[in-house]
């Protein structure tokens, strides 16, 4: 039976303001960074629009613009580097831990793989009313985005597998 590695979260689950964990069985082996590259390679128009709306609204409240995913492929990444707007806090073939922190909230995304089960674990701690209000719509949209990313990852790996 497949086991999932222990995912990193910002705090204990009971201390989080948002938590979401979603997994999919992959048809072939892939590293966490390879999965990241596939999922962020071609941000679709919905995701690009979501980031533009997020940046426009958040800027009014003094939150820095993040711009979304660049689609830039990385062959390696080290702790302290950035993958788009995320800081890399842990990098191993089976796990990437990415964070974004500001005065309103802290976000951690953990991408982990064990026995071809790929898991995205998201945790958030809010610091003020804006952070809490921000997470109301973002928490719902985040689930749709992650579901879409997982489907795209699986489809891409299935196509690659058929091509070989």
Q: What is the pLDDT of residues 89-103, one digit of tens each?
A: 999 999 999 999 998
57 part of a folded domain: yes
164 part of a folded domain: no
101 part of a folded domain: yes
* pLDDT score recorded for residue 106: 97
4 part of a folded domain: no
Closest to 21 in 3D by CA, of 117, 94, 105: 117
- Strands, E assignment, the chain: 18-25, 82-83, 86-92, 95-101, 105-114, 117-126
Residue 148 contacts residue 122 (beta carbons within 8 Å)? no
* pLDDT score recorded for residue 109: 98
Q: How does pLDDT run across 143-160, given as a tens digit for each residue?
A: 999 999 999 999 999 998
pTM of the complete model: 0.91
107 part of a folded domain: yes
CA distance 152 to 40: 10
Which residues contact residue 108 at a Cβ distance below 8 angstroms, ignoring those fewer than 6 apart? 8, 9, 10, 89, 97, 98, 99, 122, 123, 124
1 part of a folded domain: no
Find tokens 């951690």 and name the residue.
Answer: 108
For residue 36, how many other CB atoms are within 10 A of its CB? 24
Instruction: Report percent pLDDT > 90 for the chain.
Output: 70
Q: What is the mean pLDDT of the chain?
A: 91
CA distance 159 to 49: 27
* pLDDT score recorded for residue 87: 97
18 part of a folded domain: yes
Residue 13: burial class (beta carbons within 10 Å; 0-12, 13-18, 19+): exposed
Give the CATH number of the domain where residue 155 resides. Answer: 3.30.530
Q: How does pLDDT run across 33-69, given as a tens digit for each residue?
A: 999 999 999 887 888 888 888 888 888 878 888 888 8
* pLDDT score recorded for residue 71: 85
Question: Is it the case that residue 108 has pLDDT exceeding 80?
Answer: yes
Mean pLDDT, range 60-86, rounded to an integer: 90
**Quick one: tokens of 117?**
């089960």
Count how many domains the chain has.
1
* pLDDT score recorded for residue 5: 55
In terms of residue numbers, what domain contains 138? 13-159
Q: 129-163 vs 45-60: helix axis angle to the nearest 10?
A: 160
Question: Is it the case that residue 1 has pLDDT exceeding 80?
Answer: no
63 part of a folded domain: yes
């Amino acid at each position: 039976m497949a086991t999932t590695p222990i995912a990193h979260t910002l705090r204990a689950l009971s201390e989080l303001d948002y938590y979401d964990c979603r997994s999919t069985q992959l048809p072939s082996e892939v590293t966490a960074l390879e999965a990241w590259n596939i999922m962020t390679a071609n941000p679709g128009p919905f995701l690009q629009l979501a980031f533009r709306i997020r940046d426009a609204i958040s800027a009014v409240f003094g939150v820095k613009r993040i711009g979304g995913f660049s689609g830039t492929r990385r062959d390696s990444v080290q702790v302290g580097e950035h993958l788009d707007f995320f800081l890399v806090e842990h990098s191993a073939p089976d796990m990437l831990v990415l964070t974004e922190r500001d005065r309103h909230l802290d976000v951690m995304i953990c991408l982990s793989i064990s026995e071809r089960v790929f898991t995205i674990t998201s945790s958030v701690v809010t610091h003020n009313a804006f952070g809490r209000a921000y997470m109301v719509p973002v928490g719902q949209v985040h689930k749709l985005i992650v579901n879409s990313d997982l489907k795209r990852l699986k489809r891409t790996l299935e196509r690659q597998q058929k091509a070989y």
